């Protein structure tokens, strides 16, 4: 392989992340028009890719303008991953291994970040793929909590044959409401240790963040996912007018079709700030039920007609509704593409505590519910109890054949309890209890409290560094 391959593709700095159901061809071309210098395909499942021609045709599409392009695969079998890579090597500039996905589906499928402890398997995957194809093999990873272990992990992948590493500066536990801040300190330490090209991922909401990240970490390029979805022109350094960029995307979809679910997802992201206003519920509902391109265009046109007079300065926009909903004034008008800002893990934990407390302290002005013994219960528990009551009674023989013969201590639940559960509950009830009361259950391997504490600690450390 040509060792100058990174120079050949132009040393790209502005990178669109691999996003399931989101980085399809039309979106990649839109992003390239507005400053992106490298794009990744959505994650493709290697086993399905080599076995199912229909899956290949529907999920891997490209064109001459779609370069440079990296194709991302997930999987855990070296030979299967290599076979999948062989099928696309002539249509791309690199093949990426997904070692960063933290979602439950990745855990069930044993891929993504759930391979990060299996170093020998990863060596086999990277080396086998590198020997099989003529384009570089790259990896996208998450960090460990320990900087030292994260550096060792990166060096291992480099030694196995990885030619470019993308580091998402969050741990596997930092996801959803516990996402928190990505650690650029981890990224910088890895950049200092390895010699191959490297991209950084995390904390990118505007072009200024990109420049700060490049300067601090000294990486070769910066990858964006959420920032790109809410503002496809993020790498151009502008905040697009939402309906203009949305209509431009829909024009590309006419030439390069994709499922309506992809389109709907993109438009919800582009108009996310517009839809925080109750006055736009009609447009939101139209988008939610849209079935064709004309429907999607109608959403854009309705929003344009409503906000164009404000955008042109013919009318003065009053964001009082925004203040009511968001507790603060908007930095940018809602029709301008802007980042989606998550609440911190600490704020999320406090919010959940408030919800639990409010459920426990229902006042008389609210409608209350009671179980068969006259005890007050929440609306959610009442609904569950009614569902249970509609179910046919389980034969006693079936209960005897369950793992322990004992039933979950939740009075409204007929399921057998987990044999090792600390709270004598079935797994579903145990998960709900741990989530609401911030607990762990080693018997069910539910670690809500531990993961929340890790995410908060990691976010606090990252804040100190920033």
How far apart, in Å, are the Cα atoms of 403 and each of 224, 398, 406, 420, 446? Answer: 47, 10, 8, 11, 19
In angstroms, the CA 40 to CA 66 distance is: 10
Q: 324 exposed, middle or buried (CB, 10 Å; 0-12, 13-18, 19+)?
A: exposed
How far apart, in Å, are the Cα atoms of 232 and each of 237, 272, 340, 464? Answer: 10, 13, 13, 30
How far apart, in Å, are the Cα atoms of 430 and each of 331, 441, 445? Answer: 42, 8, 10
Say if residues 438 and 452 touch (Cβ distance below 8 Å).
Answer: yes
> Would residue 213 show up in a list of annotated catalytic residues for this protein?
no
**In this structure, what DSSP letter does residue 442 have?**
T
Pairing label, strands 38-40, 369-370: unpaired
Helix (H) or strand (E) holding 265: helix 260-270
Pairing label, strands 94-99, 38-40: unpaired
Question: In 3D, which of 189, 177, 209, 183 has the Cα closest to residue 352?
Answer: 177
Name residues whose C-beta falls within 8 Å of residue 88's C-beta, 6 or more positions apart in sequence. Answer: 60, 71, 95
Chain centre distance of CA 353: 25
In angstroms, the CA 297 to CA 55 distance is: 28
User: One of 39, 74, 92, 101 is an active-site residue; which one?
Assistant: 101
In angstroms, the CA 74 to CA 97 distance is: 6
**In this structure, what DSSP letter does residue 54 have?**
H
In angstroms, the CA 68 to CA 58 distance is: 20
| Residue 250 token pair | 């829909």
| Residue 8 token pair | 């050949």
In angstroms, the CA 51 to CA 84 distance is: 9
Radius of gyration of the chain (CA): 25
In angstroms, the CA 203 to CA 212 distance is: 10
- Catalytic residues, by residue number, are 101
């Amino acid at each position: 392989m040509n060792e100058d391959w990174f120079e050949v593709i132009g040393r790209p700095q502005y990178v669109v992340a691999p996003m399931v159901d989101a980085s399809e061809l039309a979106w990649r071309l839109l992003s390239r028009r507005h400053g992106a210098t490298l794009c990744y395909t959505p994650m493709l499942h290697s086993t399905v890719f080599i076995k199912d021609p229909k899956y290949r045709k529907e999920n891997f599409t490209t064109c001459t303008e779609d370069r440079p392009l990296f194709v991302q695969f997930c999987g855990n079998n070296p030979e299967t991953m290599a076979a999948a890579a062989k099928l696309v090597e002539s249509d791309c500039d690199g093949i990426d291994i997904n070692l960063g996905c933290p979602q439950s589906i990745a855990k069930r499928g044993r891929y993504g970040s759930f391979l990060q402890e299996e170093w020998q398997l990863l060596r086999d995957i990277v080396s086998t793929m590198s020997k099989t194809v003529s384009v570089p093999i790259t990896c996208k990873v998450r960090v460990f909590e320990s900087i030292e272990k994260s550096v060792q992990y990166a060096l291992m992948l480099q030694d196995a044959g990885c030619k470019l590493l993308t580091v998402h500066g969050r741990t596997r536990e930092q996801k959803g409401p516990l996402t928190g801040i990505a650690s650029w300190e981890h990224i910088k330490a890895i950049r200092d240790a390895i010699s191959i090209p490297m991209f950084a991922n995390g904390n990118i909401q505007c072009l200024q963040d990109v420049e700060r990240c490049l300067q601090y970490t000294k990486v070769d390029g910066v990858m964006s996912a959420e920032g790109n979805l809410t503002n496809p022109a993020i790498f151009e350094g502008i905040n697009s007018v939402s309906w203009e960029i949305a209509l431009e995307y829909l024009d590309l979809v006419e030439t390069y079709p994709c499922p309506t679910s992809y389109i709907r997802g993109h438009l919800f992201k582009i108009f996310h700030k517009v839809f925080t206003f109750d006055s736009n519920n009609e447009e939101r509902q139209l988008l939610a039920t849209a079935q064709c391109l004309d429907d999607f265009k109608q959403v854009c046109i309705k929003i344009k007609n409503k906000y164009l007079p404000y955008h042109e300065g013919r009318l003065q926009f009053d964001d009082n509704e925004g203040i009511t909903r968001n507790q603060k004034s908007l930095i940018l008008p809602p029709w301008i593409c802007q980042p989606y800002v998550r609440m911190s893990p600490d704020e999320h934990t406090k919010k959940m505590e408030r919800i639990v407390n409010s459920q426990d302290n229902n006042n008389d002005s609210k409608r209350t519910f009671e179980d068969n013994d006259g005890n007050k219960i929440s609306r959610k528990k009442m609904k569950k109890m009614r569902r249970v009551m509609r179910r046919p009674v389980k034969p006693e023989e079936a209960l005897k054949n369950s793992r322990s013969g004992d039933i979950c201590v939740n009075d409204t639940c007929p399921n057998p309890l987990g044999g090792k559960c600390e709270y004598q509950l079935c797994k579903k009830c145990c998960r709900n209890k741990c989530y609401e009361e911030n607990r762990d259950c080693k018997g069910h391997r539910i670690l809500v409290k531990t993961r929340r504490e890790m995410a908060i600690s990691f976010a606090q450390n990252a804040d100190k560094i920033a």
